[in-house]
Amino acid sequence: TIAAATLHRDVRTFAQEQDITILQEGICHQVMPERGYVSPGNIIVGADSHTCTYGALGAFATGMGSTDIGVAYATGRTWFLIPPTINISIMGRLPFGVYTKDVTFEMVRTVGVDGANYRAIEYTGELVEQMSVSERFTLCNMAIEMGGKAGLVAPDATTRAWLNGRIDHPYPMLAPHNPRYERVVEIDASELSPLIACPPDVNNVVPVEEVEHVRIDQVFLGTCTNGRLDDLAIAANIMRGKTLHPQTRMVVVPASREIYLEAMRLGYLETFVQAGASVGTPGCGPCIGRHHGVLAPGERALTTMNLNFTGRMGDPTAEIYLGSPATAAATALSGHISDPRNFL
């Protein structure tokens, strides 16, 4: 819209006046870690609730309102009340067809959408130790869906390997010593099946079988939750050589330019386009109810987003179901919510 174009112009003008670099490479929650702006031990504040994503690298990161962010810009300081900590311990191994996104749904269902209000959430356990940094991003990204102030994974060898070549300064490898937790939540991942968060709340979680034949008009793969390279790989491997259901459209939006280029090199984007999907410019895409992919009245979407409240993707009568990248790919092929295990 003209209003949006005007706002972007004003932002560029302000950035130039203040000598601020605008990267224009995708979602900040993906680009900042890629560019080496996040390291263990950092305290990071951002103007978006999913700033907590950076906790995957051992940073304390949290979203704030515009006034607090403005003060932080001007002074380099802000105020915190040190939050109590909830430990979510995730044990076991992921069963066939179950992914980190399914684990996050189980967490939200167990803790509740306000069960961790102003709490820091530390993720530990056998499964977390085995997760890639990309999977840890997904885990920490969803901390705010439980009301969390921040979500963190203690840095380890996996963290260091991911940061190698991205950061050239020393950083602390902090690990909790005799931690005191307000609460410990234990999740056995080996007992999980593919899950769906149904509208209008992210904690309205059910096994995929309960909604398996709900017709879907649009599938959206992307966002700061599941727009990374391994997410695209999961979906592309399911969709390779196949085509979308004729009554279902699909929008794919990589989270960053780096991911876009690598997905293009590996043939993932070609797979999506050949299947009939639309690939968008790196960024948030329709997750914020803008760009291509906005829903019409009464439509239903299955997305890899982190939120599904009323009106999030367009018309308030549209319905948003949340699932893993594998569930998204399976749904795009069948035209209805589908168990990804039948497509793997």
304, 322 contact by CB (below 8 A): yes
Task: Determine the pLDDT at residue 174.
Answer: 80
From first to last of its 344 residues, the chain has per-residue pLDDT tens of 899 899 999 999 999 999 999 999 999 999 999 999 999 999 999 999 999 999 999 999 999 999 999 999 899 999 999 999 999 999 999 999 999 999 999 999 999 999 999 999 999 999 999 999 999 999 999 999 999 999 999 999 999 999 999 999 999 998 778 899 999 999 999 999 999 999 999 999 999 999 999 999 999 999 999 999 999 999 999 999 999 999 999 999 999 999 999 999 999 999 999 999 999 999 999 998 887 899 999 999 999 999 999 999 999 999 999 999 999 999 999 999 999 999 99
Domain 195-342 has CATH 3.40.109.10: no
CA 239 to chain CA mean position, Å: 21
CA distances from 309 to 27, 239, 251, 256 (A): 21, 28, 19, 25
Q: Which CATH architecture has domain 25-192?
A: 2-Layer Sandwich (3.30)
Q: CB of 57 within 8 A of CB of 156?
A: no
Residue 240: what pLDDT? 98
pLDDT of residue 176: 76
pLDDT at position 135: 99
Number of helical (H) and strand (E) elements in the chain, helices listed first: 12, 13
Distance CA 178, CA 196 (A): 36
Sorted by where each begins, the domain ranges of the chain are 25-192, 195-342
Q: Under DSSP, is residue 314 helix (H, G, I), strand (E, B) or coil?
A: strand
- Give residue 82's pLDDT: 94
Residue 110 CB: number of other CB atoms within 10 A? 15
Same CATH topology for 25-192 and 195-342? Answer: yes
Task: Look up residue 235 and give its two tokens.
Answer: 């979906």
Joined tokens for residue 11 = 């932002």
Residue 66 CA to residue 82 CA, distance in Å, equals 21
pLDDT at residue 4, as a whole number: 87
11: phi then psi, degrees, rounded to nearest 5: -65, -45
Do residues 281 and 314 lie in contact, with contact meaning Cβ atoms separated by under 8 Å? no
pLDDT value of position 177 = 83
Residue the block writes with tokens 């105020």: 79
pLDDT of residue 195: 99
Q: How many whole angstroms separate alpha carbon 220 and alpha carbon 73? A: 34
Whole-model pTM above 0.85? yes
